[in-house]
Amino acid sequence: MRHLHLVAAAIISAILAGSFAARAFDDAPYPDWKGHWSRTGQKFPGQPSYDGSKPPGRGQQAPLTAEYQAVYDANEADQRSGGFGTTTGWWCNAWGMPAMMMAFQPMEIVITPGVTYMLTSDTQFTVRRIFTDGRDWPAEFEPSYRGLSMGKWRDEQGSGRYDTLLIETRGFKGPRVYDASGIPLHADNQSIITERLSLDRSDRNLLHDEITVIDHALTRPWTVTKSYRRDSDPRAIWTDYVCEDGQSHVKIGNESYYLSADGLLMPTAKNQPPPDLRYFKNAKSKQQ
């Protein structure tokens, strides 16, 4: 019995300690970015473009080098013929940075003293971590589609509370594109992406993210501002998003196929060759 009392006392102490820590953090000078944030400012119908203020595709006026303009042109030609070009989201591969900041599904921001979390969708539910504890860049780290993000809080209005989050992200793997039109980033994945997040000065329910991409596929840094609108309902409904749910596209090798209603593979282009069945015994006799 005495042992149970000791365990109970330890649990209560832990809860109280957590409560005091939470109370101390509530008093810290961080902005109120809680809530249900959805993308806004998309002026053209269809899939969201990287720069929502401009038409999709060539209307984005991406400052591509001649080499990567040719890559993009080939992508457009393939999409016109029924293919997917350089895009990867159709087979549920992660978009990564910076495309994931289009917030395909509503985004939640969780601020703690050392890490800010962005809970969003990147063909599935994704947690993006921005480290704000002053750590240095590690000498080595594993590349990822969303990269490694380091952030710094700033009080730019002199109010005594932080109002701006500056972020730098590096360490990517690919392939990555800016949006569904297939505007490519460089295959070397040496991108450096900086962000400046702050609330609109006249509307606390409007969050702006100024994103600048430095990439070897670009002739100059490309800066775009994305905006997110906070749901006024403090109990807004969150929904699950899983790209694979109901997915009918199948990638085998370098070819894309379509899964029919009866569960069989179908071609996606005229005269498309079937997949290589060398590892299946008696494949020919079953097909006959």
pLDDT surpassing 60 at residue 27: no
Residue with tokens 């020919």: 284
Does some domain include residue 4? no
**Same domain, yes or no: 119 and 248:** no
Does some domain include residue 169? yes
**Same domain, yes or no: 54 and 181:** yes
DSSP assignment of the chain:
-HHHHHHHHHHHHHHHHHHHHHHHHHTSS-----S-EEEE---SSSSPPSSTTS-SGGGG---B-HHHHHHHHHHHHHHHTT--TT--GGGT----TTGGGG-SS-BEEEE-SSEEEEEEESSBEEEEEEE-S-PPPPS----BSS-EEEEEEE-SS-SSS--EEEEEEE-B-S--BSSTT-PBPPTT---EEEEEEEEETTEEEEEEEEEEEE-TTBSS-EEEEEEEEE-S-TTPPP---BTTTT--EEEETTEEEEE-TTS-EEESSTTPPPPP-TTSTTHHHHH-
249 falls in which pLDDT band (50, 70, 90)?
A: confident
What pLDDT shows up at residue 16? 54
**Strand 148-154, strand 125-131: pairing:** parallel
**Same domain, yes or no: 150 and 43:** yes
Q: What is the mean pLDDT of residues 262-284?
A: 82
What pLDDT shows up at residue 212? 98
Parent domain of 193:
37-230
**Same domain, yes or no: 93 and 64:** yes
Q: What is the mean pLDDT of residues 61-90?
A: 90
**Same domain, yes or no: 86 and 109:** yes
Does some domain include residue 237? no
**Same domain, yes or no: 171 and 258:** no
What pLDDT shows up at residue 277? 83
**Same domain, yes or no: 152 and 202:** yes
Does some domain include residue 253? yes
**Same domain, yes or no: 146 and 268:** no
Q: What is the mean pLDDT of residues 180-190?
A: 96
What pLDDT shows up at residue 26? 56
Round to whole Å and give the CA distance between 216 and 174: 14
**Same domain, yes or no: 224 and 257:** no
pLDDT surpassing 70 at residue 3: no
When the pLDDT of each residue in the chain is averaged and rounded to a whole number, the result is 87
Does some domain include residue 30? no
pLDDT tens column, 127-169: 999 999 999 999 999 999 999 999 999 999 999 999 999 999 9
In 3D, which of 6, 25, 26, 2 has the Cα closest to residue 14? Answer: 6
**Same domain, yes or no: 141 and 263:** no
Round to whole Å and give the CA distance between 177 and 87: 7
What pLDDT shows up at residue 147? 98
Q: Which residue would you say has higher pLDDT here, 13 or 73?
A: 73
Does some domain include residue 236? no
Look at residues 230, 255, 281 and tell me which one is the last residue of a structural domain: 230
Does some domain include residue 28? no
Overall number of domains in the chain? 2
Q: How far is CA 176 from CA 36, 157, 251, in A?
A: 26, 36, 17
Q: How far is CA 142 from CA 147, 171, 172, 173, in A?
A: 9, 7, 8, 9
Residues 178 and 98: beta-carbon distance below 8 Å: yes
DSSP assignment of 35-57:
S-EEEE---SSSSPPSSTTS-SG
**Same domain, yes or no: 215 and 74:** yes
Does some domain include residue 134? yes
**Same domain, yes or no: 255 and 128:** no
